[in-house]
Chains A and B, each alone.
Chain A
């Protein structure tokens, strides 16, 4: 039996038994949804429907319906793509990187964080498939023999790398998530009494039984998948940043983009996990598993990644000045003082200043403050992508091509629609899936449960 130091704060509060964990995780699945759930579900599915409407309109009339114009051809759409894919990064980071570092606090949050990853990547996929203008020809992104002779996609292009990176990331995340879900679906299958539910969960659980050989393989598979996902998650956002960094647009053509984008992605992803988990722990009464300590740990990650992002912003400014390249200098001067300076300063406030407040223990252990700040961070990170893309493209090399940009209602509609879709999926997930990896949680109950730790401490004193 692995014994944990008494200095460490317990990860499972109260006097819980294995049975209690089962009961607490299954409660939202067996129970009826409350009014709050229906209210949230109605709002988010209406937003989703509006999004579907705008999406169909775009497909019907073409992307002329968007605010994008000749100079600013990547605008709202790619901003949203990068924002969503960035949010997705926290899930894999929590489940893979924290598994490799043996951070046990990941166990209470990894399931929902991974679910969030998958839903965020789905939202991101809408924007990339749509921005090609003719989404029915998107199969041409894949290396298939086509009707134009043997002309293949360009493997020298970061846009094609992105196709491979995002599809690998999406499918591997789904597989990683599902393999972890199988034992928990089996637990639900063995517990529920309604025959239709039993049948559904029997199908989902793939006949899992918890045999010692299967657990041994399960742990090996989790470890190897974590080892594969860790470089994968870093590669995906690096490649997303290559879309910008390998171009010759001033303000984009910088070597710090990959680490800058990856830390920004983790930053916004953790913020989104916090937003969701603070609601989930309250609504489903999971305060014993998602403790203040978990929130504090996540806030510490936010300080670290937020500071990396802050340093990256300042480095960009310094390098632009130090390079002596006038176009580069102007690109940053334009961002900070040009017509869209408001976006730049929103970004700076939300991403650089606000996370530094978490240095105060009182603030990073406050649930209300964390909730507000997690939303502030995601607003800031949306503006980061907007600032990188739009003001830069408004003022490129030739002043005669200078342009302005404002989104059309269709742009806004699709974005709001993806937020609606994200929350619709998450709400459905939270009522049908085990929101916490209960099997893993049971494995740390004796080492990290509050009551068990107290007993161990008493034992040591006598």
Chain B
């Protein structure tokens, strides 16, 4: 069992925050999380956030939507009950394909957009009734926070870096006990 110290480094500007993040990482300290009121550009590589794969998900959902729409229209218009409407027969799929393009497109967008949105919400666990994830309510207004969970030795080093880089406050929020992984 390891006991770790929870530290909140509070900043009122994003420039010293980025500076502190870079210094912390350079001295081998893992940044657990950073909370900001708005998306700070260029922060991801500094904190070490890998690029999200949500766009790939959207593509897969889009392909799913496209396939479902194709299957649906083939089944309904060609397989189950083919009709000759206005001299435009539906005896096979490929000859009637121009008429199917609009709905194929709409279904692709529908599935890609909703699949993406749902995946995003669940991946971040943004659901109705979820507890607020920011430890300090000021971080949605005008404060920026570096959230650290460190052992005693690293805590001292981090404290120094946070204060020297212009943190307004360095708050110690108790300890957390981490069960070792077997």
Residues of A within 8 A of B (CB): 1-2, 17-19, 22, 143, 150-158, 160-161, 164-165, 168, 171-172, 175-176, 179, 182-183, 186-187, 189-191, 202-221, 223-225, 228-229, 231-232, 235, 239, 242, 439-440, 442-443
Contacts and interface: CB of A to CB of B under 8 A. Distances in A.
16 contacts: A143-B72, A161-B103, A176-B113, A182-B126, A189-B140, A190-B132, A211-B34, A212-B35, A212-B44, A215-B36, A215-B38, A220-B55, A224-B54, A228-B113, A242-B102, A443-B39
A202 B132 contact: yes
B33 A211 contact: yes
B164 to A, nearest CB: 21
A150 to B, nearest CB: 5
A443 B40 contact: yes
Contacts of A143: 72, 76
A182 B28 CA distance: 34
A224 to B, nearest CB: 5
Contacts of A17: 142
B22 interface: no
Given A160-B103, A221-B117, A225-B117, A231 B40 contact: no
Given A150-B80, A164-B103, A211-B35, 17 more contacts: A164-B110, A172-B110, A179-B121, A187-B141, A190-B138, A202-B132, A206-B130, A207-B126, A214-B124, A215-B39, A215-B40, A216-B44, A217-B120, A217-B124, A221-B116, A224-B54, A224-B55
Interface stretch (B1-9, B82-90, B151-159, B167-175): B82-90
B47 A212 contact: yes
Contacts of A224: 54-55, 58, 112, 116
Nearest to A444: B38
Contact of A235 (B105, B114, B141): B105
Main secondary structure of the interface of A (DSSP, over half): helix
Nearest to B125: A207
Contacts of A239: 102
A2 B39 CA distance: 13
A70 to B, nearest CB: 22
A221 B133 contact: no
B106 interface: yes
A443 B41 contact: yes
Contacts of B128: 203-204, 206
Interface of B: 15, 33-41, 43-44, 47, 49, 51-52, 54-55, 58, 62, 72-73, 76-77, 80-81, 83, 85-86, 88, 90, 96, 99-100, 102-103, 105-107, 109-110, 112-114, 116-117, 120-121, 123-135, 137-142
Contact of B141 (A18, A168, A176, A228): A18
A206 B112 CA distance: 22
A345 to B, nearest CB: 35
Given A18-B141, A22-B141, A165 B106 contact: yes
A228 B37 contact: no
B123 to A, nearest CB: 7
Contact of B133 (A1, A151, A207): A207
A179 B85 contact: no
A153 B77 CA distance: 9
A164 to B, nearest CB: 4
B110 A156 contact: no
Given A155-B100, A164-B107, A209-B134, A225 B37 contact: no
B36 A175 contact: no
Contact of B127 (A160, A165, A207, A220): A207
Contact of B121 (A206, A216, A225): A206
A207 B110 contact: no
Contacts of A164: 102-103, 106-107, 110
Contacts of B72: 143
A210 B85 contact: no
Contacts of A225: 113, 116-117
Contacts of A219: 39
Contacts of B43: 212, 215
Contacts of B138: 190
B109 A213 contact: no
A22 B44 CA distance: 25
Contacts of B125: 207
Contact of A152 (B54, B58, B80, B109): B80
Given A212-B35, A215-B40, A231 B54 contact: no
A244 B72 CA distance: 26
Contacts of B132: 186, 189-190, 202, 205, 207-209
Contacts of B135: 209
A191 B141 contact: yes
A156 B106 CA distance: 14
Contacts of A204: 128
A179 B123 CA distance: 13
Contacts of B131: 207
B73 A208 contact: no
B141 A190 contact: yes
Nearest to B131: A207
Given A216-B49, A216-B52, A203 B39 contact: no
Contact of B113 (A161, A172, A214): A172
Given A208-B126, A239-B102, A152 B142 contact: no
Contacts of A18: 37, 141-142
A191 B83 CA distance: 61
A211 B130 CA distance: 15
Nearest to B44: A216
A261 to B, nearest CB: 14
Contacts of A176: 113
